[in-house]
Amino acid sequence: MSFPAGIMWRVRRTVVLLHGFTHTGRSWDPVVARLGERYRALAPDIRGHGSAAGARPIGPAECAADVAAAAPESFVLAGYSMGGRLALHVALSHPGRVEALVLVATTPGLADPVEREARAREDAALAEEINASTIEEFAERWGRNPLFKGQPPEVADAAHADRLVNDTAGLAAALRGLGQGACEPLWARLGELRMPVALVVGERDAKYRKLAERMAAAIPHAEVLVVPATGHAVHLEAPGIVAEAIVQAASAREPAC
């Protein structure tokens, strides 16, 4: 996972932004622009993606350790989809350092072991297909995922361009190491989260709306924000609303002077 070097952490509060599968840290640029001067934003490339495409091994523990090593002592944390699952690992491993947590279209994983095993087989097969494809072919295919149905053309085009920054070997490895079939579910640990948690989900994303409501029932200080007229990638379709959700979650727990 690659972070910009030479950062002076103490100037402003820091928000770490973790992207989803097939994206890079640049996918958060619209949100970062709307955060403006309020936060110092760090949006790393997760192992297997972008500038970290060749980093190995890839797993939740290694990626969470990357965040912990590169982030300041305390920070606000946000993650989308796969990045949200990783953000949960970070928050549970370093609860005293995460001031607030914002999860966009995220699940703690598959609780049913039979379902998880089936997903692992599906992910392994897809990883083989990714390896056999060019990045252009796979980016086009992934963009047709029903999760992204209804995205405005400019959003879909930007997401496609971001996917092309990756390579297929890295994405295949990331799917094998960070996919829902590979990761142990975190449902049983949600009650350990003591920081403010915002669960952001798109109005059109029915599956993840239900998951957000279920998660909120298990987290002590959680709120669900349903963003109208958006789908799975809320931070791409409504970056201003997601930026404001980050600010509001962080303001619920101001750092001690």
| CATH code for residues 14-251 | 3.40.50.1820
Q: Is 97 exposed, middle or buried (CB count within 10 Å of its CB: 0-12, 13-18, 19+)?
A: middle
pTM across the whole model: 0.94
State the CB neighbour count (10 A cutoff) for residue 68: 16
| pLDDT 10s digits, 173-183 | 999 999 999 99
- One-letter amino acid at 176 equals R
* DSSP-assigned letters across all residues of 82-96: HHHHHHHHHHHHSTT
pLDDT for the residue numbered 19: 98
pLDDT for the residue numbered 1: 56
Please tell me what DSSP assigns to residue 45: B
Q: Report residues of the chain scoring pLDDT below 50.
A: 3-10, 255-257
- The Cα–Cα gap between 151 and 160 comes to 12
